[in-house]
Amino acid sequence: MVPPVGNVTSPARPRPSERAVVEATARYLEGLGYRTRIDPDGTNYFDLVARRGDEVGLIEAKVSDARTVLTQALVRRGWGDWVAVVLASRRSAIALEARSRSTRAAPVGVWWWEGEAVTVVRAARPWVSPGEEDPYAPLRVRFRGVLDALDRGDVPEGLSWSGVPRTVRRLSGGRGFREWRLDEPGDPGP
């Protein structure tokens, strides 16, 4: 039989789930010596938390919509020493990295996932340089305390941390995260 002539479309590639992206990223970080927790707050507010010693990293994942995931990373910056986003599209990850180089989002790591592989397009950097005042230090101490309680078993896995997300959203002095421009200089004031 002769194949048809004309515009023939190939079968659509199945869209990966965000959960698959997060699980593969957790395995990648575990290979680097991090202890990982997927959705540790039970509300899906934090996609993935990685911890190695006192260092805490937060990872936000999306299979699409790079702009939203970058905004989520900026909103959560007060809780982690560093934040990275992982996208399921190489092209989107490269474009996001280029678009956010000279903005307040420059410290956000940009990673790309395909299958079991995670590729770092831009490494995540700490929000605060050594010797610089850290406006989020009390929040990071509090977050580490919650993670310590999880490690000890004082807080059950998957228990909703209703107070944590509400406090995060107040980091901006009451403004919603949609009100922040990614190129806005400096840190927000109250």
Confidence check: pLDDT of 170 > 80: no
| Average pLDDT score over residue span 83-92 | 94
Whether residue 77 contacts residue 161, with contact meaning beta carbons closer than 8 Å, is answered with no
Rg (C-alpha) for the chain, rounded Å, is 18
DSSP class of 48: E
What is the tens place of the pLDDT at every residue in 119-133? 999 999 998 888 888
pTM confidence score: 0.77
For 18-154, give the CATH class: alpha beta
Going by pLDDT thresholds of 50, 70 and 90, the confidence category of residue 162 is: low
| Average pLDDT score over residue span 88-96 | 93
Q: Where are the domains of the chain?
A: 18-154
| Average pLDDT score over residue span 101-112 | 90
DSSP class of 11: P
Give the C-alpha separation, 103 to 97, whole Å: 10
pLDDT value of residue 31: 96
Q: Measure CA of the first residue to CA of the last residue in the chain; give whole Å.
A: 71
What is the tens place of the pLDDT at every residue in 11-68? 555 677 889 999 999 999 999 999 999 988 878 888 999 999 999 999 999 988 888 8
Whether residue 48 contacts residue 140, with contact meaning beta carbons closer than 8 Å, is answered with no
Confidence check: pLDDT of 189 > 60: no
Beta strands in 39-158 (DSSP E): 48-52, 55-62, 82-87, 109-114, 117-122
